[in-house]
């Protein structure tokens, strides 16, 4: 190919780029607006890590553009590709592509809000907290949990959810996997986006090593998380948690009911410091006084410490334990010793 043809080719390409660029300037990709008084403004949320394709999809879903690729090309030609920062942006329906991109690379309307999910919270407690923080609306969270539980793409991505979805009730769907941690969300973040972020965090925190340890112990992640949720409510110190884990696993091995007070408090909905005999007789599949084995699923979303305790129990000769009013754990090697300790510490 001659040098002249190469130069001609570059010139033609440059002319096409220029024509495309300037044609995009006044291109209105969405719904046209006739009366300025009828202009409708909507909020677009750009989340951390989203690229042109994800942003373009949101714009298309809102009717702001008709073609994602057109948006991507213009953002590239106008050198706006790397100028889309996380945040909320106000845009008008029917605005031209030039003004639309200009609005999306301006200063965001709102900054992220930092929130912390506490270890041991149930799904309902997470929902209540998010509503109080004005991040989600009424019932949105529980509805999103059920929607995600039916999303095969999510279930394929996180293999540990398969058994959780199969065995969980509607009220406790995905409970145990909304990893307790500090997160940053925008006010307009959807409940579905929040749940996906906690699942991703759970997946990262568990990692390959903990999965391998569970496999070596002959247990799956569902069993580990369910056990961890009991441990989370039974003790606060890591060593106590590991001791209790060993006691509980031993009980399961010999068919002895776990008799976890945490499961009764979960059934009651309002924790009680001291359970009555009648409390322990409440008919429920979660009642580990009446039913041997693990409860149907996690009773809360446990933290990493409790999950590690369930995976790494501290071998001991104890069979029972109790917690004093001061929070001290008292362990016993026999039922007789346990009964004496109850009379001594639980007055």
* pLDDT tens-digit series, residues 200-236: 999 999 999 999 999 999 999 999 999 999 999 999 9
**48: pLDDT strictly greater than 90:** no
Asked if residue 184 lies in contact with residue 226, where contact means CB atoms within 8 angstroms, the answer is no
CA distances from 270 to 175, 274, 279, 329 (A): 18, 12, 12, 22
Share of the chain above pLDDT 90, in %: 57
| pLDDT value, residue 106 | 79
For 3-104, which CATH class? alpha beta
Nearest of 21, 124, 117 to residue 75 by alpha carbon: 21
**26: pLDDT strictly greater than 90:** no
| pLDDT value, residue 275 | 94
Tell me the average pLDDT across 294-301. 96
| pLDDT value, residue 313 | 97
Higher per-residue confidence, 16 vs 50? 50
Nearest of 276, 278, 273 to residue 322 by alpha carbon: 273
Mean pLDDT (the chain, rounded)? 86
Using pLDDT thresholds of 50, 70 and 90, give the confidence band for residue 149: very high
Nearest of 154, 294, 285 to residue 222 by alpha carbon: 294
User: How many C-alpha atoms does 65 have within 13 Å on its Cβ side?
Assistant: 27
Domain segments of the chain as ranges? 3-104, 113-214, 218-345
Higher per-residue confidence, 48 vs 178? 178
Tell me the average pLDDT across 244-263. 97
Question: What is the dihedral sign for C-alpha 295, 296, 298, 299?
Answer: negative
| pLDDT value, residue 2 | 62
**304: pLDDT strictly greater than 90:** yes
| pLDDT value, residue 57 | 92
**177: pLDDT strictly greater than 90:** yes
| pLDDT value, residue 186 | 75
Tell me the average pLDDT across 72-93. 85
**22: pLDDT strictly greater than 60:** no
Tens of pLDDT along 100-146?
A: 888 888 766 656 788 999 999 999 999 999 999 888 876 889 899 99
Share of the chain above pLDDT 70, in %: 86
User: How many C-alpha atoms does 27 have within 13 Å on its Cβ side?
Assistant: 18
**15: pLDDT strictly greater than 80:** no
**6: pLDDT strictly greater than 70:** no
Q: Would you list the DSSP string of 117-175? A: PPTTB-HHHHHHHHHHTTSS-TTHHHHHHHHHHT-HHHHHH-TTHHHHHHH--STTTTT
| pLDDT value, residue 169 | 80
| pLDDT value, residue 47 | 82
Using pLDDT thresholds of 50, 70 and 90, give the confidence band for residue 11: low
Per the structure block, which two tokens stand in for 96? 């031209």
Using pLDDT thresholds of 50, 70 and 90, give the confidence band for residue 198: very high
**35: pLDDT strictly greater than 70:** no
pTM across the whole model: 0.72
| pLDDT value, residue 296 | 94
Separation between Cα atoms, residue 199 and residue 164, nearest integer Å:
13
**187: pLDDT strictly greater than 80:** no
């Amino acid at each position: 190919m001659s040098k002249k043809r190469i130069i001609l080719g570059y010139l033609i390409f440059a002319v096409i780029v220029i024509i495309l660029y300037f044609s995009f300037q006044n291109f209105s990709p969405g719904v046209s607006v006739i009366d300025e008084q009828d202009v409708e403004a909507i909020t677009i949320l750009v989340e951390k890590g989203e690229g042109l394709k994800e942003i373009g999809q949101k714009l298309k879903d809102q009717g702001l553009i008709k073609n994602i690729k057109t948006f991507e090309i213009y953002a590239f030609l106008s050198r706006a590709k790397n100028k889309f920062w996380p945040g909320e942006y106000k845009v008008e329906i029917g605005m031209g592509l030039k003004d639309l991109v200009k609005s999306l690379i301006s200063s965001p309307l709102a900054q992220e809000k930092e929130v912390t999910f506490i270890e041991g919270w149930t799904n309902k407690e997470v929902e209540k907290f998010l509503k109080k923080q004005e991040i989600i609306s009424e019932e949105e969270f529980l509805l999103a949990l059920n929607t995600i539980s039916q999303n095969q793409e999510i279930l394929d991505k996180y293999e540990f959810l398969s058994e959780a979805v199969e065995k969980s009730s509607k009220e406790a769907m995905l409970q145990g996997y909304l990893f307790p941690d500090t997160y940053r969300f925008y006010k307009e973040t959807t409940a579905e986006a929040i749940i996906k972020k906690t699942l991703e965090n759970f997946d990262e925190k568990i990692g390959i090593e903990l999965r391998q340890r569970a496999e070596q112990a002959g247990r799956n992640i569902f069993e580990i998380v369910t056990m961890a949720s009991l441990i989370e409510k039974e003790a606060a110190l890591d060593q106590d948690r590991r001791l209790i884990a060993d006691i509980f696993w031993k009980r399961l091995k010999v068919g002895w009911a776990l008799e976890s007070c945490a499961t009764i408090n979960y059934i009651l909905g309002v924790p009680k410091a001291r359970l009555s005999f009648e409390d322990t007789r409440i008919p429920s599949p979660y009642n580990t006084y009446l039913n041997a084995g693990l409860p149907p699923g996690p009773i809360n979303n446990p933290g990493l410490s409790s999950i590690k305790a369930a995976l790494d129990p501290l071998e001991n000769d104890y069979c029972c334990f109790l917690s004093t009013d001061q929070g001290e754990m008292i362990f016993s090697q026999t039922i007789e010793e346990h009964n004496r300790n109850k009379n001594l510490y639980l007055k």
